[in-house]
Chains A and B, each alone.
Chain A
């Protein structure tokens, strides 16, 4: 479970990094969190790991490289039963996914839960960019 622990640690650091200026953060961990497509303002969302309606949903800062193409969650990764859900953060800080693309929600956890409800038990298929 060291992988998850590291994700959680990064999530805390990234959250602090995105918060109002002046907060002291651990620099080395922050540098690990890719934030290329994140909005200019607003705190990064917290990591999460829970079972929702029988599905394991996890979210937290993505590690550099190794993910599928087309990742635009500002360095934030969401999985459902271990399979990546393509997510994206809007300029106003809200979130959408490839499953709920046209209806923004406030947080990645809300987004993962909305995807679980929409999936009705179906597995995600691996992401491709065609």
Chain B
């Protein structure tokens, strides 16, 4: 059974296996297909048109399914590997062990944002940025640029307290839990973390940085935490909503999975702490 652990508690061996599996997916070309898929949805999900992966109620089940698929790909390389999560309310500086050379490597250099240490540095020649929006083929970061701060636990708790899953108009202007977690409104959780990391994480091709998966694994855990706090609240909308994935509608690109299928994460994995 897959148990997703806090990245801060991984052993040296678990980190090494995770990194090696990422490098193998990259080498085989499978990794970049995930980047391509994500960017296609980033560019096509709009507030007033069809929206599936982002700025809509299905942001959470879509990314849950996306991460499950990615985790299964990792496990096809090394069956012992599970996706870790990054609790950025706790590990909130560039000095966190997350950014050490034995794991994801650190921030980028001032001149061009290039990450210079760890397995994902361009110089190691195993992490070329192929699916890109500009000419640069090296991983970039600018951790905490401009004095930006990651969300605090109190800010997370204020969002987890929201009882209603999502509200009309079911987009980036909505009130409710989903849009506050996604970050288009209010204290801003998910979006702000992308901006804090900088580099490719601030762009539509954000999965080029492996931290994408650890960030979204924590966002996914926060959804599970919210469900545990609000057992009587359900995914919304239930049915009949134009341009939006209702509870029983299938989601692109898989077309065989619905938000209803994704509500119970324990069918697929558990967390190292009770949700």
Q: Which A residues contact B (CB, under 8 angstroms)?
A: 36-39, 70, 72, 86, 88-92, 98-104, 118-120, 122-125, 127, 129-130
Closest to B171 in A: A91
| Distance between Cα atoms of A37 and B46 in the complex (Å) | 7
Fill in one digit per residue for B182-211: 1 if any A CB lies within 8 Å of its CB, else 0: 011000000110110000001111100000
Closest 7 pairs (CB-CB, A-B): A130-B36, A91-B173, A70-B43, A102-B191, A102-B194, A91-B47, A98-B204
In the complex, what residues of A have CB within 8 A of residue B202's CB? 99-103, 118
Give CA–CA (A37, B44) in the complex, Å: 11
Q: Chain B binding site: helix, strand, loop or mixed by DSSP? A: loop
A122→B203 CA distance, assembly (Å): 14
Question: Complex Cα distance A125/B203, Å?
Answer: 13
Q: Which residues of B contact A (CB under 8 A)?
A: 36-37, 39-40, 42-44, 46-49, 55, 112-113, 131-136, 169, 171-173, 183-184, 191-192, 194-195, 202-206
Q: Which of B47, B113, B132 contacts A39 (CB 8 A)?
A: B47
Q: Is the CB of B134 within 8 A of A99?
A: yes
Complex alpha-carbon distance, A72 and B194, angstroms: 21
Shortest Cβ distance from A103 into chain B, in angstroms?
5
Q: Complex: how many Å from CA A102 to CA B203?
A: 7
CB distance from A94 to the nearest CB of B (A): 9
Task: List the B side residues contacting A123 at CB < 8 Å.
Answer: 134-135
Q: Is the CB of A91 within 8 A of B172?
A: yes
Assembled-state Cα–Cα distance A36/B133 (Å): 25
In the complex, which of the residues B43, B133, B184, B192 contacts A90, with contact meaning CB atoms closer than 8 Å?
Answer: B184
Chain A residue numbers with a CB within 8 Å of B44 are 70, 72, 129
Indicate if the CB atoms of B132 and A125 lie closer than 8 Å.
Answer: yes
Closest to B142 in A: A118
What is the distance, in angstroms, from A91's C-beta to the closest C-beta of chain B?
A: 4
User: Pick the contact of A102 from B36, B171, B183 — CB < 8 Å?
Assistant: B183
- Per the bound structure, the CA–CA distance linking A122 and B136 in Å amounts to 7
Find out whether the CB atom of B173 lies under 8 angstroms from the CB atom of A130: no
Complex CA gap A122/B135 in Å reads 6
